[in-house]
Amino acid sequence: MSSQHIVEAIVYDKVVQLVSDFFASELRRLSAKVERPLPARGIPFPRIDGPKCKNDRIGIVGAGPSGIHMAYSLKEEGFRNVKILEKSNRIGGKSVHVSKV
Ligand SMILES: Cc1cc2nc3c(=O)[nH]c(=O)nc-3n(C[C@H](O)[C@H](O)[C@H](O)COP(=O)(O)OP(=O)(O)OC[C@H]3O[C@@H](n4cnc5c(N)ncnc54)[C@H](O)[C@@H]3O)c2cc1C
């Protein structure tokens, strides 16, 4: 191996070391952010007592993904009197507008 090749190999190793050090420190920085999420902003939702009796009448406003999921979950929990109140003439909420690609 010529001295020029040796110098190139050393430079290459240094560059690889620098790049991997950079990514390792970025990864540590991002992991720290994920492990310590920022405190929530805005006004927290008030705590609402949920239904107590399986026969309680439950009205869910909106047949978007959230409403449908909530109705499904309540039915799974055994609540029998669940109604979704939807103002439009279709279900799906905004997800209806998601184009089919
Ligand atoms: C173009 C576009 C692309 C998107 N792409 C994605 C994606 O790829 N992946 C993803 O995860 N999310 C995507 N989203 C976001 C996703 O569609 C929404 O996060 C989701 O629809 C929110 O669901 P939601 O049930 O909370 O609200 P909404 O979907 O807004 O549903 C609310 C429902 O409540 C009804 N409603 C409102 N007010 C009343 C009232 N007073 N009385 C009765 N009914 C009422 C509305 O008519 C509606 O049906 C996209 C959204 C859009 C617009």
Ligand 1 atom 53 nearest Cα: 94
Among 87, 88, 95, say which to mutate for ligand 1: greatest number of ligand atoms within 8 Å of CB: 95
Measured in angstroms, how far is the CA atom of residue 97 from the centroid of ligand 1?
Answer: 9
Residue 23 lies in a domain: yes
Answer for the pair 63, 84: CB distance below 8 angstroms, yes or no.
yes
Do the beta carbons of residue 87 and residue 63 sit within 8 Å?
Answer: no
Strand 82-85, strand 58-61: pairing: parallel
pLDDT in tens, 22-56: 999 999 998 888 888 778 889 988 888 888 899 99
**pLDDT tens string 54-84:** 999 999 999 999 999 999 999 999 999 999 9
Q: Is the CB of 83 under 6 A from ligand 1?
A: no
User: Does 98 fall in a domain?
Assistant: no
- 30, 57: one domain: no
Q: Containing domain of residue 71, as a range?
A: 52-93
| Residue 42 placed within a domain | no
Q: 0.75 exceeded by the pTM?
A: no
**Does residue 9 carry a pLDDT above 80?**
yes
Q: How confident is the model at residue 101 (pLDDT cuts 50, 70, 90)?
A: low
